[in-house]
Amino acid sequence: MKARAAHRGFTLLEMLVAAFIMAMVAVLGWRGLNGVANSRDAVEHRMRASTQLQLAMQQLSADVAAASDAGTGLPAVSLAGNGDLLLVRRVAEPLGADLRAWRAGLQVDAGALQVVRWGVRAGALLRWASPPAPAAGPLMQAMSQPSGDGIAMLDGVTGMDVLVFRYAGLGIQRQSGAWVNPYTAADGQRAGNSPELAQLRTPGGVRVTLQLDGGQIRGRLQREFLVETRQ
């Protein structure tokens, strides 16, 4: 009896219980690893979206900072009929902040301008930049329609609103103002070559409000940019 008991092995029930415990441990371990992987992916997606947003706002800031009033029909800042933001800007330097506006080896006149358009299409914020031109004709054409294919600057954008800051007075009285639609009564009073009326055409600032619904970043994003008056 003692010799038979010494060679006794595991019963089927004991093996099933051990297998069940090992399976439960494996499932719990897989869930933990899967949760860590999902959290890592979510953080990477959010960081990528945040970087994309930062780059888009930097580019928009560079466009507004380089905005230049080019005379009748070519204001530094305006709004297209479909709500796109139009900017007439000086061409970026080859090693400047606006690398997207440059092609390698392109020789551009120092006085050349280009039209930059920002608009929302199919859930993304796009940017168009016309070829540099020293004459008004090509720029006027670029104001009426986008030039080439737009670059997707920010995903998940479903709407964009643009306001400009208009000063209440002229000269030393320009101490107050308000955020208004680009096509206000003051903007419509411009005529001739009067320097004062030309200043009315160029606002003091641009406020862009984006509605973010389809990406990692959601909600309303509002940014304000200073516009320096240039003739």
In angstroms, the first-to-last Cα distance of the chain is 110
CA distance 125 to 121: 7
Residue-level pLDDT at 110: 52
Residue-level pLDDT at 181: 82
CA distance 64 to 61: 5
Which burial class, exposed, middle or buried, applies to 214 when counting CB atoms under 10 A from its CB (0-12, 13-18, 19+)? middle
Sole residue written with tokens 């409000």: 209
Would you say residue 96 has pLDDT above 80? no
86: its two tokens: 């139009």
The rounded mean pLDDT for the chain is 76
Q: Which residue has the higher pLDDT, 25 or 128?
A: 128
CA dihedral angle for residue 187, residue 190, residue 195, residue 200, rounded to 10 degrees: -10
225: its two tokens: 């940019």
**What residue segments make up the domains of the chain, in order of their start?**
48-226
Residue-level pLDDT at 206: 92
Average pLDDT of the segment spanning 15-32: 79
Q: Which residue has the higher pLDDT, 197 or 154?
A: 154
Candidates 127, 158, 3, 145; CA nearest to 61 is 127
Q: Residue length, the chain?
A: 231
pTM of the model: 0.69
Q: Which residue has the higher pLDDT, 212 or 105?
A: 212
**What confidence tier does 27 reach under pLDDT thresholds 50, 70, 90?**
confident
pLDDT tens track for 211-225: 998 767 788 999 999
Amino acid at 156: G
